[in-house]
Amino acid sequence: MGTDAAVAFYAAAKIHLGESIFESEIQWQASRTLDKFTEQDLLREAAWVILCSGFRESVIRNSFSFISLCFCEWESAAVISASSELCRATALAAFRNERKIDAIVRTALYINAVGFEGYKKEILEDPLLALRRLPYIGEVTAYHLAKNLGADVAKPDRHLVRLAASQGFYDVHSLCATIAKETGDPLRIVDIILWRFLVLRHSHVGRVRPQNESGSLSLSE
C-alpha cells in the first residue's frame, strides 16, 4: 500500500464514518485521557474488554447495560466486592459464560485489594504491563483496555493485523504510526477509525453499543 495509499485509505474511512452514527464513538475515543480515568472507568472498560474477547461486539452490546446494572453500575471495586456473589449470580442470568463473569468479579476483587490509587499509578507508569495483571487481559486485550482508558496506542486487532500484513506494513503499530505521523491524528484515533470502517465493511452493520452513564459511547471489540 505504501504511505500515500495508507493515508488515502484512512482519509476515506474517516470521511465515511464522519457521515455516520459512529462519529460519536470517535469523539468518545478522542476525549479519553489516560491520567484522568476513574475507578468506575477502569471497572467498566475492563469488563467490556473481558466480555468482548472472542465474541462479536453486537452480542456484548445487547447484554452490557444489564450486566452493568448487575455490577452496581461499576460504582467501585469495594461495592462490587461486598456483593460479589449476588453480582455474579444476576449477571449469569443474562450472560452465561462463567469464565468471563468470574473474571469481572476477580478484577473488582483485585482492584479492591491493591487499592485503586496505587494501581492507577502503576498503569500510568506502564499501562500494558500493569493491565496484564488483570484476569483475562492478555497481550492483545491489554492494548484494547489501555486505549479505552486513554493511552495513545493501536490495538493489534485481527482486522487491523490483516490490513497491515496485506499492505506490506510490519505490524499494526507501524501502519497506524505512519498514518498518525502524516495526518497529526493520535494513534488511538487512527486505530478506531480503521477498525470501525473495516468492521462495517465486513458486516454491513450500522449500530453502536449503548451509551454509558455519562452519555459517552464506550468502545468496541
Residue 171 host element (H or E): none
pLDDT of residue 1: 59
What is the Cα–Cα distance from 71 to 86, expressed in whole angstroms? 9
Tell me the per-residue pLDDT of 8-45, one tens digit each, with 9 for 90 and over: 999 999 998 987 888 888 999 999 999 999 999 999 99
Phi-psi region of 137 (alpha: psi -120 to 50; beta: other; left: phi over 0): beta
Tell me the per-residue pLDDT of 169-215, one tens digit each, with 9 for 90 and over: 989 999 999 999 999 999 999 999 999 999 888 765 444 333 333 33
Q: Which fold has domain 34-149?
A: Endonuclease III; domain 1 (1.10.340)
What is the Cα–Cα distance from 64 to 31, expressed in whole angstroms? 21
More confident position, 23 or 97: 97
- E strands, the chain, in order: none
What is the Cα–Cα distance from 166 to 159, expressed in whole angstroms? 11
Q: Tell the burial category of 143 from Cβ atoms under 10 Å away from its Cβ (0-12, 13-18, 19+).
A: buried
Tell me the per-residue pLDDT of 47-95, one tens digit each, with 9 for 90 and over: 999 999 887 787 888 899 999 999 999 999 999 999 999 999 999 998 9
pLDDT of residue 41: 98
Q: Tell me if residue 152 falls in helix, strand or coil.
A: coil
pLDDT of residue 217: 29
AA letter at 77: A
Which candidate, 221, 199, 67, 76, places its Cα nearest to that of 145?
221
Assigned C-alpha cell, 145: 483496555
CB 121 within 8 A of CB 115: no
